[in-house]
Amino acid sequence: MSVNTHQYNYGSRTSELDDFEDILDHYKYISGRRFHNTTSKYSLPNDKNEVDRLELSHDLFKYAFGGNYSSPIQNKLEDGIAVLDIGCGTGKWIIDNAMDYPKSTFIGIDMSPIFPKENKPQNAGFIECDVLYGLPFPSNTFDFVHQRLLCTAFSEKQWITVIKEIMRVLKPSGYVEFMESDPLKFHNSGPCTREIMKKVKQFYKSQDICMNVPSKLKGFMESIGDLSEVKVENRVLPVGKWNGTFGELMFEYIRMSIESYSIIITRKFKYTNQESLELLDCFAQEIEGYSSSLSYTRFYAQKI
């Protein structure tokens, strides 16, 4: 298996003063990691380590699903359509598709401006925006709206709000597609893994985060109306060297995620740094011993 881990150049600020003001406006620092300085429920970092994690995840999911999307839109993309990616992160999904489909226009939005400002295709653009405050586009603007792995970002009520807003900007006959996972629900997990996931789940419940999104998302989409039959495509992805190169890379991706969760555990549940490290070491050993895996699911439908 070959996975492209090329990193993009994210450009530079115009001055040191702008740098400093931007840091004050956008970021806060906890235990050496950089986080969003917002009221959002999204609790993972947005620093260099997180950029690396998101870049790796893009390549893994593209490989696992055999492409960047499951909706039947390839011909439309080749002819030229307008595409929106919500929670675009580093912008890699946008850039990848913009290069593949030069006749289409791709817009990515994210509340954290870690997307590229330079070195991007001419048909790709990015906007700093929190979807919960509404999408800054007129109704019926996009032919395809994509959103991936915001499973720890919204309450149930916010999920409905987001889907309604997506439906507003989606053109009739356009497609909406989500890819989600329950990152706290490992198949074949050991006691240390379950302990970590239990603590993280307790934290997310205290924040009113919607849990187990894949079991609810189809119902959320159907409840809005104006959609054709919701199609579902699932993959169970191995985590660990026991499955070869792909499993090893999946483990690296999950390890980086768990390291981010460990900050939550350390602060919320008064774990010492040593206790947190011991849990992480135990998790790494269990992943191999139990041949663990995680499920990822795509949901897509056409607007009627």
Both tokens of 22, joined, read: 């931007």
C-beta of residue 231 within 8 angstroms of C-beta of residue 279: no
Q: Is residue 165 part of a domain?
A: yes
Kindly report the backbone phi and psi dihedral angles of residue 302, in degrees, each rounded to the nearest multiple of 5, phi listed first.
-105, 140
Residue 151 within a domain: yes
Q: What is the pLDDT of residue 43?
A: 55
The pTM assigned to this predicted structure is 0.85
SS3 232: strand
At residue 18, what is the residue type? Answer: D
In a domain, 242, yes or no: yes
- Three-state secondary-structure class, residue 146: strand
Chain centroid to CA 53: how far? 10
Q: Give Rg (Cα) of the chain.
A: 19
Q: Is residue 1 part of a domain?
A: no
Query: Helix, strand, coil: what percent of the chain each, to 5?
Result: 45, 20, 35
Decide: helix, strand or coil at residue 54: helix
pLDDT tens digits in sequence order for the chain, 304 residues long: 443 433 333 333 333 333 333 444 555 655 665 565 655 555 555 667 778 888 999 999 999 999 999 999 999 999 999 999 999 999 999 999 999 999 999 999 998 888 988 889 999 999 999 999 999 999 999 999 999 999 989 999 999 999 999 999 999 999 999 999 998 899 999 998 998 888 888 888 888 999 899 999 999 999 998 999 999 999 999 999 999 999 999 999 998 888 777 676 677 777 787 887 888 889 889 998 999 999 999 999 999 9
List the domain range (segments joined by +) for residue 164. 16-302
In the structure encoding, which two tokens stand for residue 234, read together?
């699932």
What is d(CA 291, CA 190) in angstroms, rounded to the nearest whole number? 10
Total length of the chain: 304
- Confirm whether 92 is domain-assigned: yes
The total of structural domains in the chain comes to 1
* Dihedral sign (CA 87, 89, 92, 94): positive
Residue 11 located in a structural domain: no
CA–CA distance, 163 with 217 (Å, rounded to integer) = 10
Considering only CA atoms, which of 63, 109, 64 is closest in space to residue 86?
Answer: 109
In a domain, 256, yes or no: yes
Rounded (5°) CA angle 36-50-244: 155
9 assigned to some structural domain: no
Query: In this structure, what CATH number is given to the domain that contains residue 255?
Result: 3.40.50.150
